[in-house]
C-alpha cells in the first residue's frame, strides 16, 4: 500500500511538472518557449490547480488570450475564477510605448504603415482652411482666438398698408450667440470646395455677396429684424437692404477660399449680421444670417 501511494504521488508531480515546463497543452509559437491560450487555461483549471499556480504560470509565460466577450463567456462556463481571468486580462494589455525623444519622430518599422498625420492646421490660425462660414477673429496679447458665427435661419414677414409696406427678415431672440467687445471687429470667411461646402450656397464665393447690416430690435416679441424689401403704390416691389442699415467693410484674399474681412469704421453697440438671402445670391437659395453682437461697454 505504501509503494502504491508513493507511485501515485510521484505520478501527480510528473503531471504538474509537465504542465509547468512542457508544451503538451500549450500552443507552440515556433520560437523558444510556449504561448498560453484560453484552451490551456481551461485545461489547467480542470486539473484543480490552485489559482495562484495558474496565475504564476500566466506571469512567467508568453500569452495569446482571447478576452473578447465570447472568450470571457467560454472561460466562465469552464468555471475559471475571476482572479485568473483578471490575470489573463492584465497579460493581454500591451505595454506603454516610451515617448519619442524631443525633436525626433520614431521611424515606422519595415513593413508597417506610417502613423496617420495629425489634422492639418490650427483652429486658431486664421490662415488655415476652416469649416465653411464666417469666423470672428479676436487677438489678445498676440494670441488669436477664432469663433464661428452661427448661421441663423430667418422667416420673412411683409407688413403692408395703403401706402405700401416693408418686407422684413425676422430672427428669433434679441441677442446673437457670439459677441465681441471690439467696435471694429475682424472676421475671416471660408468658402470650401463645392462638395465640402456646408452652407448649401455654392454660388457664394466672395465676401461681397454677404452684406453686413445692423439689425433692429423688437423687445416686445423678442426678435431681431432687418428690412430686405419694400413695396409702394405704382412702384412695385423693391428687393434689397436699405443703405441706412448697411455697414461697409474691406476684404482681403488670404488664400484660395479664405478672405480676411475688416469693418471699415467703428460699430455702435448692437446686433449685426452678414446677410445671405436669395436676392444677394440666387433665387431658390435658403436664406440665413451670420450674426454677432457688439457690446463694448
pLDDT tens digit sequence for 133-177: 899 999 988 899 999 999 888 888 887 777 778 889 999 999 999
Q: Read off the C-alpha cell for 281.
A: 445670391
pTM > 0.75: yes or no: no
How many independent structural domains does the chain possess?
2
Cell output for 235: 412702384
Residue 53 counted as domain residue: yes
263 CB-near residues (< 8 Å, 6+ apart)? 184, 185, 186, 212, 247, 248, 249
Whole-number Å distance between alpha carbons of 181 and 30: 70
Cβ neighbours, 10 Å, residue 40: 24
- DSSP H/E element including 85: helix 82-91
Q: Residues 192, 260: one domain?
A: yes
pLDDT at residue 121 in the model = 59
Any domain includes 237: yes
Q: Which secondary structure element, helix H or strand E, spans residue 247, and what is its range? A: strand 246-247
pLDDT at 294: 96
Q: How far is CA 139 from CA 116, 126, 254, in A?
A: 32, 11, 18
Query: Is 123 part of a structural domain of the chain?
Result: no
Tell me, yes or no, whether 256 lies in a domain: yes
What integer pLDDT is reported at residue 215 of this predicted model?
97
Closest CA to 247 of 188, 154, 185: 185
Rg (CA), the chain: 36
Smallest Cα–Cα separation from 210: which of 231, 183, 188, 229? 188
270 and 163 both lie in a single domain: yes
Same domain, 141 and 247: yes
- For 202, the domain range is 133-294
- pLDDT at residue 277, as a whole number: 60
Residues 284, 145: one domain? yes
Quick one: pLDDT at residue 280? 43
Low-confidence residues in the chain, pLDDT < 50: 1-32, 94-108, 110-119, 194-203, 279-285
- Residue 177 in any domain: the answer is yes
Q: Does residue 216 share a domain with residue 274?
A: yes
Residues 79 and 218 in one domain: no
Instruction: Please check whether residue 121 lies inside any domain of the structure.
Output: no
Give the Cα separation of 76 and 85 in Å (integer): 9
Q: What is the DSSP letter of 257?
A: T
Do residues 141 and 15 share a domain? no
In a domain, 147, yes or no: yes
Cα 137 to Cα 2, 164, 247: the distances in Å are 93, 41, 18
Judge whether 267 lies within some domain.
yes
Amino acid at each position: 500500500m505504501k509503494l502504491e501511494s508513493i507511485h501515485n504521488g510521484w505520478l501527480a508531480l510528473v503531471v504538474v511538472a509537465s504542465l509547468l515546463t512542457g508544451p503538451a497543452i500549450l500552443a507552440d509559437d515556433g520560437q523558444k518557449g510556449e504561448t498560453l491560450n484560453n484552451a490551456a487555461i481551461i485545461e489547467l483549471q480542470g486539473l484543480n490547480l490552485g489559482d495562484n499556480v495558474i496565475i504564476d504560470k500566466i506571469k512567467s509565460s508568453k500569452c495569446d488570450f482571447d478576452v473578447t466577450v465570447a472568450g470571457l463567456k467560454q472561460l466562465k462556463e469552464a468555471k475559471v475564477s475571476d482572479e485568473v481571468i483578471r490575470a489573463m486580462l492584465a497579460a493581454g494589455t500591451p505595454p506603454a510605448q516610451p515617448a519619442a525623444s524631443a525633436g525626433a519622430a520614431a521611424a515606422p518599422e519595415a513593413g508597417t504603415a506610417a502613423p496617420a498625420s495629425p489634422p492639418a492646421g490650427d483652429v486658431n490660425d486664421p490662415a488655415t482652411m476652416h469649416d465653411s462660414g464666417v469666423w470672428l477673429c479676436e487677438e489678445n496679447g498676440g494670441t488669436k482666438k477664432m469663433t464661428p458665427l452661427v448661421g441663423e435661419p430667418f422667416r420673412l414677414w411683409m407688413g403692408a398698408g395703403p401706402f405700401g409696406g416693408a418686407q422684413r427678415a425676422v430672427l428669433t431672440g434679441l441677442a446673437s450667440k457670439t459677441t465681441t467687445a471690439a467696435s471694429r471687429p475682424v472676421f475671416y470667411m471660408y468658402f470650401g470646395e463645392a462638395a465640402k461646402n456646408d452652407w448649401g450656397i455654392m454660388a457664394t464665393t466672395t465676401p461681397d455677396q454677404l452684406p453686413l447690416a445692423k439689425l433692429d430690435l423688437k423687445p416686445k416679441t423678442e426678435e431681431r429684424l432687418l428690412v430686405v424689401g419694400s413695396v409702394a403704390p405704382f412702384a412695385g416691389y423693391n428687393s434689397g437692404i436699405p443703405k441706412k442699415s448697411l455697414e461697409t467693410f474691406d476684404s482681403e484674399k488670404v488664400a484660395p477660399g479664405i478672405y480676411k474681412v475688416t469693418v471699415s469704421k467703428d460699430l455702435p453697440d448692437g446686433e449685426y449680421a452678414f446677410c445671405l438671402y436669395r436676392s444677394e445670391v440666387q433665387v431658390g437659395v435658403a436664406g440665413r444670417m451670420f450674426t454677432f453682437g457688439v457690446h463694448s461697454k
